Amino acid sequence: MTDGALSSTLTSAPGVPGADVNVVPTWRRLGRRLRPGLAVAPFLLYSFLGLGLPILAVVDFAFRDPAGHLTSANVRLMAHNPYLLGFKNSIILAAITSVVPGVLGVILAYTIHTSRSGLLRRLVATASGVLANFGGINLTFMFIATIGSTGLLSVWLTYLHINLTSLGFNLYSFYGVVVVYMYFQIPLMVLVITPALAGLRASWREAASNMGASPWRYWRHVGIPVLMPSVLGGMLLLFGSAFAAYATAETLTAGTVTLAPIQIGNLLAGNAISGQVNVGYAIGLGMFVVLAITMVLYGLVRKRASKWLR
């Protein structure tokens, strides 16, 4: 394809540009005009079939009843329980597991960033990359083996006469999911925020202290305002990641916790209640809307953050 494009320009190169155009047949000129498009056509077609079409299908199916007639009943169901509760819980879960790991991630990243050990910094960078991609069944097993009813930490704590279950903690519940999600959310925050910390120039701090500012005033007027957009952006990213996650919550609670993605899984797998499948598509549409809003906000915050990080 591209070979032809170049050879035709090469053969026409010695000729006079004006006269040359008339020599080339019309169909060839058309071909040359279309060729750039043709080269990226497979990718564009694939993205349409693999991304565009499925999204259109979700929207379409969310507005249909089992017989295929148009209806808004499924979408209206989202304002009622248990689906409203699913969205509410999902948003609360995502909010907790974006703010708490967000703050902890910044503290951890700062501790490591200001450390003098290059080895530690490299180790943490690699580990964060690996741990941020943890999830699903492996992570579930790791936490069952740690703080499940006969887990290692649970057993250790009973020696200290601390019983997690009698304290009200249950790994297979909403707060169990919170604890497990932190495992990949904190490393994700470390990955996202480290470039921003590197952008915090030492000269700003030196300038502030030369002018007599205390460390607290430096953070209050320089450090935190500069970092804030990046921190918010990172938290929005964590929000999206926790809101969309399915595998970990599903394998940990076996589908018993009320979260929007878990409800989709239950509606799709539960063939007994056929006719409810369309409701799953309406939840999917709702999730898509929440995530689209999150990502638009992320884009806006990112633009603000890049002002200082060059």
Distance CA 234, CA 228 (A): 10
* Site mask for other proteins (CB under 8 A), range 221-240, x = bound: -------------------x
Is residue 214 a contact residue for other proteins (CB under 8 A)? no
Is residue 11 a contact residue for other proteins (CB under 8 A)? no
Could you say which of 74, 102, 106, 143 contacts other proteins (CB under 8 A)? 143
Pick between residue 219 and residue 288 the one whose CB is nearest to other proteins. 288
Is residue 172 a contact residue for other proteins (CB under 8 A)? no
In the chain, what is the straight-line distance between the N-terminal and C-terminal CA atoms, in Å? 40
Part of the chain binding other proteins (CB under 8 A), chosen from 17-25, 149-157, 162-170, 220-228: 149-157
Part of the chain binding other proteins (CB under 8 A), chosen from 70-78, 81-89, 222-230, 262-270: 262-270
Could you say which of 21, 23, 30, 56 contacts other proteins (CB under 8 A)? 56
Judge contact between 176 and 167, C-beta under 8 A.
Answer: no
Is residue 34 a contact residue for other proteins (CB under 8 A)? no
Spatial neighbors of 163 by CB under 8 A, at least 6 apart, are 157
Tokens encoding 14: 């010695």
* Site mask for other proteins (CB under 8 A), range 287-306, x = bound: xx--xx--x-----------
Could you say which of 21, 30, 73, 137 contacts other proteins (CB under 8 A)? 137
Is residue 195 a contact residue for other proteins (CB under 8 A)? no
Judge contact between 108 and 102, C-beta under 8 A.
Answer: no
Tokens encoding 179: 């604890």
Could you say which of 17, 18, 25, 50 contacts other proteins (CB under 8 A)? 50
DSSP assignments along 148-170, one per residue: STT-HHHHHHHHTT--TTTTT--
Closest-CA residue to 282 (of 71, 18, 23, 16): 71
Pick between residue 174 and residue 246 the one whose CB is nearest to other proteins. 246
Part of the chain binding other proteins (CB under 8 A), chosen from 81-89, 160-168, 222-230, 242-250: 242-250
Is residue 58 a contact residue for other proteins (CB under 8 A)? yes
Distance CA 78, CA 284 (A): 11
Tell me the three state secondary structure of residue 76. Answer: helix
Spatial neighbors of 242 by CB under 8 A, at least 6 apart, are 93, 94, 97, 98, 181, 185
Pick between residue 224 and residue 296 the one whose CB is nearest to other proteins. 296
Could you say which of 30, 107, 162, 224 contacts other proteins (CB under 8 A)? 107
